[in-house]
Structure 1
Amino acid sequence: MWLLKSLLSSDPLPSIVGGGVYLRVPQMQDFGPWRDLREASRDFLTPWEPLWPADDLTRPAFKRRLRRYARDMITDDAYPLLVFRTGDHQLLGGVTLSNVRRGIS
């Protein structure tokens, strides 16, 4: 539950920094920039993604997305991260580390 509360808050979260960018888990405060970038990238993204729901770019849909991300991290299944430029904190994109295997695989 603490993880979901962290994602829905605006408190700073740990990040991975290097090469002029930093990666961190998405938070509710990222909704505006995330929505704008996703809309601007729609033509590029749609060939590789499932059909977008009608409400994909809404605040409630983003909140559902954050809940799913929290479940994925809690179960150690996936780690979604947003990529930001270090200098001006501009959102550049996202990456998800998934199919996580621990130990011998």
Structure 2
Amino acid sequence: MSNNHIYLRYLDMKDAGSLLDLKLRNRDFFQPFEPIRDDSHFTLEGQKSEIANGIQGVANDESYTFGIFLKETDELVGRIALTGIARGPFQNAYLGYFMDEKHNGKGYATGAVSLCVEYAFNEIGLHRVQAGVMPKNVPSIRVLEKAGFRHEGLSKKYLKINGSWEDHELFAITAE
């Protein structure tokens, strides 16, 4: 999946070093928006385990995890995932993503969200994709709005982020 500047592909074991570099380089930048992670997460083995879980998720139709790569250089600049896939009458997934701080504001996250949603609807047959964003994460809210997501409400104390239970604005997009 690609557009003019980026492409998405499943992460595989050869990406573990690049994923680790990305997370270490952005650790302080990401922390206000993520759960507190054990130091073992920030190791090559930790990233290999995360990639292995992603591969298993695809095999079980439970999740789909992609790296976001620059077309020009093949540099890994982010990750995007469809998780918690529910089939049956729901046909829903949760969307989560992160982008290297030095590549923010260039439209790559919006492009990745659009490509991932297109994949969700056209390739794996989902009807709905939803995302939760802390109200203070205005850039991420803008990404979702630009990608066509609608605001659906506020969930109080939704996720434990950076050690605190945080409210999240809920956004969704459906195949229609």
TM category, shorter: 0.7 to 0.9
Residue number in structure 2 paired with 1:49: 34
Whole-Å Cα distance in 1 between the matches of residues 86 and 4 of structure 2?
Answer: 27
Aligned to 2:72, which of 84, 87, 103?
87
TM-score scaled to structure 2, two decimals?
0.47
Q: Is 1:58 matched up with 2:43?
A: yes
Return the offset for 1:35: 1.3
Amino acid at match of 1:28: M
CA RMSD of aligned residues (A): 1.6
Q: Structure 1 CA distance, aligned partners of 2:52 and 2:21? A: 20
Residue 72 (1) aligns with residue 63 (2): no
| Residue deviations 1:19-58 (CA, integer Å, cap 9, x gap) | 3111011112112221111111112221222221212222
Q: Secondary structure at the match of 1:77?
A: coil
Counterpart amino acid of 1:35? L
Determine the structure 1 residue equivalent to 2:18. Answer: 33
1:97 paired residue number: 82
Residues 77-86 or 30-39, more deviating:
30-39
> Which amino acid is 2:75 matched to?
Q
**How far 1:80 moved relative to its partner?**
0.7
AA in 1 matched with 2:13: M
Cα shift at 1:103: 5.2
Greater CA deviation, 62-71 or 74-83? 62-71
Aligned length: 90
Moved beyond 3 Å, runs of 4+: 101-104
Unaligned runs of 5+ in 2: 91-176
Choose 50-59 or 79-88, whichever is displaced more: 50-59
By how many angstroms is 1:94 displaced?
A: 0.6
Could you list the runs of 5+ residues in structure 1 that have no partner in the other structure?
Answer: 1-15
More strand as a share of residues: 2
How far does residue 100 in structure 1 lie from its aligned partner after superposition? 2.6
